[in-house]
Amino acid sequence: MKIVFLGAPGAGKGTHAQQLMKELGIPQISTGDMFRRAIREETPTGLQAKSYMDKGELVPDEVVIAMVKERLAEDDCKNGYILDGFPRTVAQAEAMEEFATIDLALNIDVPAELIISRLSSRRMCAGCGATYNITLHNSDKCSTCGGELYQRDDDKPETIRKRLDVYEEKTAPLVAYYREKGLLSTATLLGTIEENNEVVRAALNKKD
Ligand code: ADP
Ligand code: ZN
């Protein structure tokens, strides 16, 4: 199954994409994680992406599209994948149609006030990329790999506001885009992680 995850920053795309990756045995492809790795490794893509990410802006379409196209051509993507963070603009969605056919666009829908509080308390594992909420996790270490937890630069308050504005302007139109194609399934998440996992699982088997 080829799935696109839609949703505002902090809606829980990463958490639920990782969960589904384990259950469905298909890779989670997070463009944000790919860029963060590229920045650490100082690759040409990383150098291009860094200034945009630090400001909470989108990396230019052509940089992201080239990176995703290359990634989807790898062997482990043959039986499907979960795209987490791509496409993020209508131009990206249109470009992707030339190299991938999506089965489902899963729209993770979460009230705005929850999003802001979550992003400010989000911490990420430097080892494996898992995310934690400091109000729920009483340690500065990852419980899976023991890695250090840190706060992403773009999870600082000013940048959070900027990212939410960018989402509304550039990414939210994708909801209508995929609805028109008959590919949209909405998961409204208001419960605990376990309850939300159930809602996401159910959303895989329906269309809006
Ligand atoms: P979040 O979903 O919480 O905003 P991500 O880790 O998905 O965080 O993305 C972090 C940053 O990486 C974005 O703010 C943006 O600068 C860049 N980025 C990731 N995916 C894309 C994309 N598809 N197009 C443009 N920029 C992207
Ligand atoms: Zn870890």
DSSP secondary structure letter of residue 169: I
* pLDDT, tens digit, 9 for 90 and up, residues 109-136: 998 888 888 899 999 999 998 999 999 9
Question: Is 22 part of a structural domain of the chain?
Answer: yes
Question: Is 34 part of a structural domain of the chain?
Answer: no
Residue 79 confidence (pLDDT): 94
- Could you tell me the pTM of the whole model? 0.89
Question: Is 196 part of a structural domain of the chain?
Answer: yes
Mean pLDDT confidence for 50-75: 96
Mean pLDDT confidence for 18-28: 94
Residue 99 confidence (pLDDT): 97
Domain count across the chain: 1
Spacing, Cα 148 to ligand 2 middle (Å)? 7
Residue 118 confidence (pLDDT): 87
Residue nearest to atom 18 of ligand 1 (CA): 32
Mean pLDDT confidence for 59-70: 98
Supply the mean pLDDT for the chain: 94
Spacing, Cα 151 to ligand 2 middle (Å)? 14
Sign of CA dihedral 13, 135, 122, 157: positive
pLDDT at 187 over 90: yes
Ligand 1 proximal residues by C-beta, below 6 Å: 9-10, 13, 31-32, 35, 52-53, 56-59, 64, 85-86, 88, 92, 154, 163
* pLDDT, tens digit, 9 for 90 and up, residues 88-100: 999 999 999 999 9
pLDDT at 153 over 90: no
Question: Is 178 part of a structural domain of the chain?
Answer: yes
Percent of the chain with pLDDT over 90: 86
Question: Is 41 part of a structural domain of the chain?
Answer: no
State which of 33, 63, 69, 163 you would mutate to test the pocket of ligand 1, scoring each by most atoms of that ligand within 8 A of its C-beta. 163
Sign of CA dihedral 183, 206, 26, 59: positive
Residue 116 confidence (pLDDT): 85
CATH of the domain at 193: 3.40.50.300
Reported confidence tier of residue 176, pLDDT bands at 50, 70, 90: very high
Q: Which ligand is nearest to the CA of 57?
A: 1
Q: Which ligand is nearest to the CA of 127?
A: 2
Question: Is 71 part of a structural domain of the chain?
Answer: no
State which of 18, 28, 30, 35 you would mutate to test the pocket of ligand 1, scoring each by most atoms of that ligand within 8 A of its C-beta. 35
Residue nearest to atom 6 of ligand 1 (CA): 32
Question: Is 42 part of a structural domain of the chain?
Answer: no
Residue 172 confidence (pLDDT): 96
Find the domain containing 184 and state its range: 2-26+79-203
Mean pLDDT confidence for 62-78: 97
Question: Is 61 part of a structural domain of the chain?
Answer: no
pLDDT at 61 over 90: yes
CA distance 67 to 4: 16
In 3-state terms, what secondary structure has residue 74?
coil
